[in-house]
Structure 1
Amino acid sequence: MPIAELNGQGIFFEDSGGSGRPIILGHGFLMDGRMFDAQVAALAPEFRVIRWDARAFGRTRWDGKPFTLWDSATDCIALLDHLGIDQAVVGGMSQGGYCALRIALRYPDRLKALVLMSTRGTNDDEQTKAGYLQSAQVWSTVGPDPIVQALSGPVLGDPRYFTPWLDRWRQLPAANYMAAVRNLVDRDDITSRLKEIRCPAIIFHGLEDSGIPPSDGEFLHKTLPGSVRFVPVPGATHAANLTHPEVVNPPLLEFLRAYA
């Protein structure tokens, strides 16, 4: 397996290779790099597509210690260093988008452009944070099934997309789920710093997303100085790039040809 030993973690990644301009993609909460299969199929080999699994998720070997989105940003940059890549387009979906925005703030010279999917710059309200923490308690005491069932529709929408993701979610240890939840609820609000991010950006958002409303994506588009396009995805819930690649991929490819 392609594992890079970085920052005390064994970061799992997949690299399409080739001489194309690089784009690196970070996944959403409960997901892993496989959620970008359709993007790899559409973009490679014209572009070199790298995807990686964040701490506590997928096939990354996490050290079991608490971590923040800033730690995840450092992991991503360390992976680019490991691969010998000076600059890349950085993309992320939801949690991966939180990370991508922080990469843009801390490492602006390493970005060619930003691809943001179903994400926001704000933190969550207190009710949402409490819900996350309660879900971690249920996962630890009752087991994952109630939470898996509750999140399947909002994240994936149509049940035809549930396989194999729900089975993967059920395999996540409670300690991983709790650490990942803390990573989300403890994140800082970077709204006031968004205007510092001046690189080109494209923003995708499912119009049926109940977890992060489309208005948050539109806010990013209006606030980021370099945002060139907001792409609404009709009929899509949270994981729009996975469920509706036929809507996401053409404008993504157009954007990368212009700005990568």
Structure 2
Amino acid sequence: MKRLLPALFLAASIQAGAAAERWETLPPTPAPVAGETTGYAEVNGIRLFYAAIGDGPPVVLLHGGLSNSDYWGHQVQALAPHHRVILVDSRGHGRSTRDARPYGYDLMADDVVGLLDVLKILTADVVGWSDGGIIGIDLALRHPDRVRRVFAFAANTVTSGVKDGVEKNPTFAAFITRAGEEYGRLSPTPKDYDAFVEQISHMWASQPNWTDAQLRAITTPILVVDGDHDEAIKREHTETIAATIPGAGLLILPNASHFAFLQNPDLFNAAVLNFIDAK
């Protein structure tokens, strides 16, 4: 037995060393939160899926490209006790339909405004991840009267802010595969994932492309947030966004990536609540 102990300790050390860091993991997509009411809003030529839960100041959660609103499950649980939480599947994503128009951030931001109109919400806080964060900034630029604050996580404001070859990163590649499986289960066009990815990729190739002058014109309070190991967004770009938007804050979450809201929801949720509930 004594002879076996060194070998066991060595095996344990090797296994521990091989374990993925938290920022390398892709935790499961949360299940929808019990108590959500769901519906479809006829806006901007499409049927936009949404869910709502809770009472209080409204906050809209906008997911990243290729995904769906289920990804926000941990955040819903933290926000719903004191906020009216609105989840949205962006056009062509999740359960929402699309029309023949090319994908674009202005178009998707207008969809959000259309949903707010349907729900009779004058202004709301916005929490956005990746494409959702870009849509949040777009709202601050083009519809500043409809947004109170924007928590922009893992967003970019020019295409050069994205790292080359991000789709080859193992964690991000696993996300793309999972998103395809979820698309096949949720979408009204379940066989069209490859075409969907191609069409979204055309948008990513040219948008967003805002100038510094446009960003300096923003008056909405914005917190620019990212993980310290984001697979997709360059750290210097995140810092530049925060330095360019007047009064914007900058927060870098430790030991987290593009999927920080799944990897460390407690820390992510605390950051969201601290920002949107600040007096």
TM-score in terms of structure 2 length: 0.76
What value does the CA root-mean-square deviation take over the aligned residues? 2.6
- 1:109-258 correspondence to structure 2 within 5 Å: 109-124=145-160, 128=164, 150=168, 153-154=171-172, 165=179, 167-168=181-182, 173-192=193-212, 193-227=214-248, 229-258=249-278
Aligned-pair CA distance for 1:69: 0.8
* Paired amino acid for 2:236: S
Residue by residue, what CA displacement relative to the aligned partner does 1:9-63 show, whole Å, maximum 9, x if unpaired? 1111111142x10111211112111111111110112011112111221111122
The structure-2 alpha-carbon separation of the partners of 1:127 and 1:214, relative to structure 1 and needing over 3 Å to count, comes to closer
In 2, the alpha carbon distance for the partners of 1:162 and 1:66 equals 21
Aligned-pair CA distance for 1:72: 0.4
* Paired amino acid for 1:254: N
* Paired amino acid for 2:218: I
In 2, the alpha carbon distance for the partners of 1:189 and 1:195 equals 14
Q: What stretches of structure 1 move > 3 A for 4+ residues in a row?
A: 124-128, 161-166, 169-172
What secondary structure is seen at the aligned counterpart in 2 of 1:105? helix
Q: Which residue of 2 aligns with 1:10?
A: 47
Aligned-pair CA distance for 1:65: 3.4
Aligned-pair CA distance for 1:188: 4.0
Count the aligned residue pairs.
Answer: 235
2:161–2:234: 8 Å Cα contact kept in structure 1? no
In 1, the alpha carbon distance for the partners of 2:267 and 2:239 equals 17
2:126–2:151: 8 Å Cα contact kept in structure 1? yes
Percent identity over the alignment is 30
Aligned-pair CA distance for 1:104: 0.8
Instruction: Please identify the structure whose Cα radius of gyration is greater.
Output: 2
Q: Which residue of 2 aligns with 1:73?
A: 109
Q: 1:32 aligned to 45, 52, 68, which one? A: 68
Residue by residue, what CA displacement relative to the aligned partner does 1:140-160 show, whole Å, maximum 9, x if unpaired? xxxxxxx6xx4551377xxxx
* Paired amino acid for 1:168: E
In 2, the alpha carbon distance for the partners of 1:223 and 1:198 equals 12
1:154–1:209: 8 Å Cα contact kept in structure 2? no
What secondary structure is seen at the aligned counterpart in 2 of 1:70? helix
The structure-2 alpha-carbon separation of the partners of 1:71 and 1:199, relative to structure 1 and needing over 3 Å to count, comes to same
Aligned-pair CA distance for 1:208: 0.8
The structure-2 alpha-carbon separation of the partners of 1:214 and 1:176, relative to structure 1 and needing over 3 Å to count, comes to same
Q: Which residue of 1 aligns with 2:22?
A: none
The structure-2 alpha-carbon separation of the partners of 1:215 and 1:153, relative to structure 1 and needing over 3 Å to count, comes to same
Q: Which residue of 2 aligns with 1:53?
A: 89
Q: Which runs of 5+ in 2 are unaligned?
A: 1-37, 185-189
What secondary structure is seen at the aligned counterpart in 2 of 1:174? helix
2:156–2:162: 8 Å Cα contact kept in structure 1? no
The structure-2 alpha-carbon separation of the partners of 1:125 and 1:91, relative to structure 1 and needing over 3 Å to count, comes to closer
Aligned-pair CA distance for 1:169: 5.4
Aligned-pair CA distance for 1:189: 1.2
